[in-house]
Chain A
Amino acid sequence: MSIVSWYFPFFIACFFCAYFIVPKKYQWYLLLAGNLVFYLFAGIKSFVIALASAFFAYLAALKLENDRKNDANKKGNVLLCSAVIVILIAWWLFLKFMGSSFGLVMPLGISFYTLNLIAYLSDVHRLKYPAERNPLRFLTYILYFPQIIQGPFTRYPAMKEQLFAEHHFSYERFTEGSLRALYGLTIKKLIIADSLAVIVNRCLSSYSTYTGGTIFLCLILYSIELYADFSGYMDIVNGVSHVLGIEMPENFTRPYFSSSLEEFWRRWHITLGGWFREYVFFPLSMNKKVQKLSKSVRKKYGSKLGKLIAADIALFFVWTATGLWHDFSWSYLLWGYLNMIVIMGSMHLEDRYKAIREKLHLDEKNVAFRLFRIVRTFLLVCLIRIPAIAGDLKKAIALFKQLSCFKGEGAGSLFSETGGISLIILAVAILIMFIIDILEEKEKWQEAKGRCPVLVKDLAVSLMIICFILFVGGDNDLLGGFMYARF
């Protein structure tokens, strides 16, 4: 079921009513039923694969926990679990490449729930928390419908407390959550992301006819589109969950206000970053062999390099995995490595930067200097995204080359086919998103919402509902869903 469709508001309205009407102890059964119905919309084959992998993880976790508790060092079971997970990932990667050619099914949200399954099995194996005994409860968690398509990634203990608790209807939660979901769906997704997608796709499909400046503007628009699309989805997930009384982790904290690429990755897709940190970065950097290497490098080349070498090795694997997780292609691998090079470079050159800043008397708290760093980081993010946008290396190189081209169509041509009113609506929507992000960054958004007159709030809700009616399923909905759902 696409969230950008008439089905979803109908489904969610019915679900909200039923959820708060049924006896509280049966609420989670309803949640499970909602998950199954939502997933069934993706097709029966997809549904069976998801159920089978969830059931496998349920049994495997019990077995792994039992082995650890009985001190039985059964490496065979760990290997078997790892093998099944690897097969699941390989299947998902294979489907990404060849699925359509063979008519095979790509289960809904497979890349997201596979990572959730790995986290669950790994945590249980490390005895971080007990395995779930009830298969239905486990299924309620792993297939939780708001998060199944694009996350966020969650940890079982945090979700368990909320999913199976009794929740009473709260008008405040209902209005707060609905408003957030409506904002994400209409302003961010339907107006900003889908309108920009038309402009960006037009530019990228005939990029050789545009000037370098126009291509650069297109990259900036793409970055706004991606943010509006992905964070818009998260607003829907968090808003819907808030109404149900379930608090999901935030996946974005105004990433475009970051003053370095490293900070950007702490504020963009936060839960994916957390997953890679927990299950790839730390295990690798803490590995005995890596620590031993770090020690010998420190003795030979000094403490600075010795300290960073463990992080360098781990970061190489993290960015390889991050690139391949997004897409099993050379272009995404290049995108990952470009991020890695900048982050590693800034780690190694930190002392020099500090010395230069001190020499130039640049205060990090200075507003103008901070603004410069924010703009620099944003433009860097836009440029680094070129391989990811291009989809293949040849096109990526051509796009990089095109940036230095002065001949071709100017920036105005990007908007020539978009109507005047549509452009005004788009500009106003981007401005609203920008203002809200600034208020959130300054922690004044809640206060501003509180002070806002009821009439203005009602008007905003009415306008968003009208926008939903006008835009859903319209010409702009070219992607037929969210951008990150394809990863």
Chain B
Amino acid sequence: MEELLEILNEINSDIDYENETALIDDGILDSLDVVALVSELNDHYDIEIGLDDLIPENFNSLEAMLALIEKLK
């Protein structure tokens, strides 16, 4: 979780990732953030996030992102 938080804070450090549950639905993370985030996650965790994984439910919260990373590892 710490690693992921570090990556997310690099994208945008003004967001309370630990408590937000609608990062995409509420437009807190925009499409440019998502692309940068996917690129970072792919690189850092050596995973391949595909187009089909790009749904709000996978990126709305820290937990959802962790679950996606676990699934793709």
Complex CA gap A322/B32 in Å reads: 17
- Main secondary structure, interface of B, reads helix
Q: In the assembled complex, which residues on chain A have CB atoms less than 8 Å from the CB atom of B54? A: 282, 286
B40 in contact with A291 (CB, 8 Å): no
- Assess whether A54 is interfacial by the CB under 8 Å rule: no
Evaluate whether A310 and B39 lie within 8 angstroms (CB atoms) in the complex, with A266-B27, A347-B32 already known.
yes
A285-B43 contact in complex given A266-B27, A266-B30, C-beta closer than 8 Å: no
B50, A126: Cβ atoms closer than 8 Å: no
B39 A277 Cβ-Cβ under 8 A:
no
Instruction: Assess A295 versus B39: contact at CB under 8 Å? Given A126-B51, A126-B52, A283-B51.
Output: yes
CB distance from A79 to the nearest CB of B (A): 19
- The reply to whether the CB of B49 lies closer than 8 angstroms to some CB of chain A is yes
Beta-carbon contacts under 8 Å, B10-24 to A: 10
The chain A residue sitting closest to B49, CB to CB, is A286
| CA of A287 to CA of B52, assembled, Å | 12
Distance in Å: Cβ of B24 to nearest Cβ of chain A: 12
A307 and B39: CB pair below 8 A? Answer: yes
Interface size on B, residues (CB 8 A): 18
B35 touches A286 (CB 8 A): yes
Q: Report the Cα distance A122→B38, complex, angstroms.
A: 22
- With the chains together, A347 CA to B32 CA distance in Å? 9
B9 on interface, CB distance cutoff 8 Å = no
Residue in B31, B39, B50 whose CB lies within 8 Å of A281: B31
Is A286 a contact of B30 with CB atoms below 8 Å? no
Query: CB of A308 within 8 A of chain B?
Result: yes
Contact A311 B36 (CB under 8 A): yes
Q: With A126-B51, A307-B40 known to touch, is A285 a contact of B35 (CB < 8 Å)? A: yes
**Is the CB of A298 closer than 8 A to any CB of chain B?**
yes
Nearest CB of B to A265, in Å: 11
Q: Any chain B CB within 8 A of the CB of A314?
A: yes
**Contact partners of B39 in chain A: CB under 8 A:** 291, 294-295, 298, 306-307, 310
Contact check, A298 vs B43: say whether CB atoms are below 8 A apart: yes
Contact among B31, B35, B43 for A295, CB-based, below 8 A: B43
Closest residue on chain B to residue A276 by CB atoms? B31
B32 surroundings in chain A (CB, below 8 A): 308, 311, 347
Q: Would you call A282 and B36 a contact (CB within 8 A)?
A: no
Nearest-CB distance from A125 to chain B (Å)? 11
B36 close to A307 (CB less than 8 A): yes
* Cβ contact within 8 Å between A286 and B43: no
A66-106, CB < 8 A from B:
none
Chain B positions within 8 Å of A310 at CB level: 35-36, 39
CB of B18, distance to nearest CB on chain A (Å) = 23
One of A282, A291, A306, A307 near B31 (C-beta < 8 A): A282
Residues from chain B with Cβ under 8 Å of A291 in the complex: 38-39, 42
Contact A277 B42 (CB under 8 A): no
A283 to chain B: closest residue by CB: B51
- Are A286 and B36 interface neighbours, CB within 8 A? no
Question: Interface centre among A266, A307, A347, by most B CB within 10 Å?
Answer: A307
Contact of A286 among B10, B27, B51 (CB under 8 A): B51
**A317 to B: closest C-beta gap in Å:** 13
Whether B31 lies near A286 (C-beta < 8 A) is: no
Contacts of A262 in B (CB 8 A): 30
Inter-chain contacts of B42 with A (CB < 8 A): 291
Q: How far is the CB of A126 from chain B (nearest CB, A)?
A: 6
Closest chain B residue to A298, Cβ basis? B43
* Residues on the A chain within 8 Å of B43, using CB: 295, 298
Cα–Cα, bound, A438→B54 (Å): 34
- The 8 Å CB contact of B36, one of A277, A281, A295, A308, is A308
- Known contacts A266-B27, A311-B32, A347-B32: does B51 contact A282 (CB below 8 Å)? yes
Q: Known interface pairs A282-B51, A286-B50, A295-B43. Does A277 touch B38 (Cβ–Cβ under 8 Å)?
A: no
CB of B61 to closest CB in A, whole Å: 20
Instruction: Write the nearest CB–CB distance from B64 to chain A, whole angstroms.
Output: 18
Residues from chain B with a CB closer than 8 A to the CB of A347 are: 32
Residues of A with C-beta under 8 A to B10: 303
The residues in B between 28 and 63 inclusive whose CB is less than 8 angstroms from any CB of A are 30-32, 34-36, 38-40, 42-43, 49-52, 54
Q: Which residues of B are at the interface with A, using a C-beta cutoff of 8 A?
A: 10, 27, 30-32, 34-36, 38-40, 42-43, 49-52, 54
- List chain A positions with a Cβ less than 8 A from chain B: 126, 262, 266, 277, 281-283, 285-286, 291, 294-295, 298, 303, 306-308, 310-311, 314, 347
What are some 26 contacts across the A-B interface (CB < 8 A)?
Answer: A126-B51, A126-B52, A262-B30, A277-B31, A281-B35, A282-B31, A282-B34, A282-B51, A282-B54, A285-B35, A286-B35, A286-B38, A286-B49, A286-B51, A286-B54, A291-B39, A291-B42, A298-B39, A298-B43, A303-B10, A306-B39, A307-B40, A308-B32, A310-B35, A310-B36, A311-B32
Top 8 A-B residue pairs of the complex, sorted by shortest distance between their CB atoms: A307-B36, A285-B35, A311-B32, A311-B35, A294-B39, A277-B31, A310-B35, A286-B51
